[in-house]
Amino acid sequence: MRIVTAGPAHVAVLEGLHGQCFDEGWTAEDFGRLLATPGSFALIGAAGGEPAGLALCRVAADECELLTIGIIPFYRRRRLGGQLLAATLAEARTRGAARYFLDVAEDNTAAFHLYYSAGFTQVGRRPNYYRRGGAGIAALVMAVDLVGAEQSDRSGRGEPQSR
Ligand SMILES: CC(C)(COP(=O)(O)OP(=O)(O)OC[C@H]1O[C@@H](n2cnc3c(N)ncnc32)[C@H](O)[C@@H]1OP(=O)(O)O)[C@@H](O)C(=O)NCCC(=O)NCCS
């Protein structure tokens, strides 16, 4: 996968990708606003010559937060999400972040396993953080250290023990 840094000229592409990855996609205006926020950066991953995935993060002080990541359905389970996540970890490190956080819906098995494979561990849980069909879904807070230890890679080492 070819990964490029997205700028204001890419907001329509980001909107198109996000809309294919999530039920409630973010608009180009949303991305424009988020990209204008200090410390934010977005990456677009291309496969087969077309945009296949996106990620958006924000670095504040020495912490990075993943705001969104997605791979369009056709390209899933080909290790592209893992590559894109790894690229955000590298960029966050370059920007001086020491720790990287994210929220994931408790029932999002694919994303949880993606993050777990990349070395993230659960550090918290926010009940009723998301709403879906009138029901509250908890968010798991996951984190990984970006400095002081070699990046963990648990891929191929079996299932998470925490769930
Ligand atoms: C989560 C998402 C980005 C994963 O992208 P992907 O390119 O399919 O992921 P990868 O192929 O790189 O998978 C890496 C690892 O994640 C885990 N994983 C990915 N999809 C999975 C699934 N459907 N079920 C279980 N584990 C899964 C596996 O551990 C996988 O490693 P493996 O292939 O060796 O088993 C993708 O499913 C997606 O865009 N989902 C919709 C948007 C979303 O939920 N984003 C996350 C919001 S927190």
The predicted-structure confidence for 16-25, as pLDDT tens digits, reads as follows 999 999 999 9
Is residue 78 a part of any domain in this protein?
yes
Q: Number of structural domains, the chain?
A: 1
pTM above 0.85, yes or no: yes
Task: Please answer whether residues 118 and 85 qualify as being in contact, where contact means their C-beta atoms are separated by less than 8 angstroms.
Answer: yes
Q: What is the CATH number of the domain that holds 122?
A: 3.40.630.30
Is residue 104 a part of any domain in this protein?
yes
Is residue 107 a part of any domain in this protein?
yes
Q: 77 C-alpha to center of ligand 1: Å?
A: 6
Residue 80: both structure tokens together: 């592209």
Q: What is the pLDDT of residue 162?
A: 36
Is residue 152 a part of any domain in this protein?
no
Model confidence over 123-138: pLDDT tens digits? 999 999 999 888 999 9
Q: Which is nearest to 17 in space by CA: 59, 83, 77, 74?
A: 74
Residue whose Cα lies nearest atom 4 of ligand 1: it is 81
Which of 76, 101, 104, 120 for mutating ligand 1's site (highest number of atoms within 8 Å of CB)?
A: 76
- Residue 161: pLDDT band by 50, 70, 90 thresholds? very low
Q: 117 C-alpha to center of ligand 1: Å?
A: 10
Is residue 62 a part of any domain in this protein?
yes
Q: Is 163 in the pocket of ligand 1 (CB under 6 A)?
A: no
* pLDDT (average), residues 149-162: 54
Residue 156 in this model has a pLDDT that exceeds 60:
no
CA neighbours within 13 Å on the CB side: how many for 26? Answer: 20
Model confidence over 32-73: pLDDT tens digits? 999 999 999 999 999 999 999 999 999 999 999 999 999 999
